[in-house]
Amino acid sequence: MPGHGGGYPAAPDARPQGPPGLSGAHRPASFEVIAGDASSSYIVHVPHSSTVIPQDVRSELLLGDEALAEELRLMTDARTEELALTAARQVAPRPWLFVNRLSRLVVDPERLPYGHEEMTEVGMGSVYTRTSGGKALRDLGQPAEKDLLKTFLWPYAEAFADLVDERLLVAGRVVVVDLHSYPQQTLPYERHQDARRPQVCVGVDVDHTPAALVERVTAACSIIGQVVVNEPFSGSYIPLRHFGRDIRVASVMVELRRDTYLREDGSLDPEGARNINAALVAILGG
């Protein structure tokens, strides 16, 4: 599987190299492709489950250890990787997984860089400059932002788009299931403070989410609780290479409210996790 098998930076091809200040022999891989069956058209995207921040990136953040831990607690889609993996193992043909191995506080692969993104206005574009509570997170100059994008965002986006192209070639179509979770309490950075917060929010795109897919995902998720489309969050991850260009690439976002599967201490609630598993298996087996 040339191109993305080992994840960054192990891939031997011509991926952009980190700038001198950001290089380092022990940098953890920034993403991982977990292979599914050759015939599967499903890719489960898990962008926000990691809390890993490389030391050189950590040293640029303006938060003490305690404040950083709290921000990670609020912003990490805890255990979504585990939920995705467990479900994927039960589905034939087995779906592919694309997992972000770094925290969204390093770069957020779901956001668009350079002002194309409404979240940039609140300091939470692809490189966050503010916390979810509006405190300063980074003192970011343009070169530093460029370096972060070059080191982490572009290789990630390219590898994801390559995986989509590879699946298109083999399966003729792709369904991206963009798996997230979100807190019960509204965070100050959120744009739509009065929106409902159902147990499941299904994010859809006007061009890339066929009605039948919305229906299927909504029906599957009803075992978890109330399901609402595009509220409080909207849209779903589609690589820029395919966005608006190739409707063979379908995408749907599943945002699980965290109290549906997580206990206060961060452990999995068995019944909630079972329901989510059933929903994901139904979605990925369709």
Residues near Zn ion, by CB under 5 A: 48, 77, 180
CB of 178 to Zn ion, least distance (A): 8
Question: Residue 279's closest CA among 255, 250, 251?
Answer: 255
CB of 239 to Zn ion, least distance (A): 17
HEC letters along the chain: CCCCCCCCCCCCCCCCCCCHHHCCCCCCCCEEEECCCCCCCEEEEECCCCCCCCHHHHCCCCCCHHHHHHHHHHHCCCCHHHHHHHHHCCCCCCCEEEEECCCCCCCCCCCCCCCCCHHHHHCECCCECECCCCCECCCCCHHHHHHHHHHHHHHHHHHHHHHHHHHHHHHCCEEEEEEEEECCCCCCCCCCCCCCCCCEEEEECCCCCCHHHHHHHHHHHCCCCCEEECCCCCCCCCCCCCCCCCCCEEEEEEEEEHHHCECCCCCECHHHHHHHHHHHHHHHCC
* Cβ distance to Zn ion smaller for residue 77 or 162: 77
* Cβ distance to Zn ion smaller for residue 74 or 140: 74
CB of 218 to Zn ion, least distance (A): 19
CB of 19 to Zn ion, least distance (A): 27
* Cβ distance to Zn ion smaller for residue 109 or 272: 109
Place of tokens 């979504």: 80
Question: 12 preceded by cis ω (within 30°)?
Answer: no
Q: Are 97 and 34 in contact (CB under 8 A)?
A: yes
* Cβ distance to Zn ion smaller for residue 71 or 166: 71
* Cβ distance to Zn ion smaller for residue 149 or 201: 201
Place of tokens 């932002």: 145
Query: Which residue number is nearest to Zn ion in terms of Cβ?
Result: 180
CB of 278 to Zn ion, least distance (A): 21
* Cβ distance to Zn ion smaller for residue 183 or 210: 183
* Cβ distance to Zn ion smaller for residue 48 or 197: 48
CB of 124 to Zn ion, least distance (A): 12
CB of 254 to Zn ion, least distance (A): 10
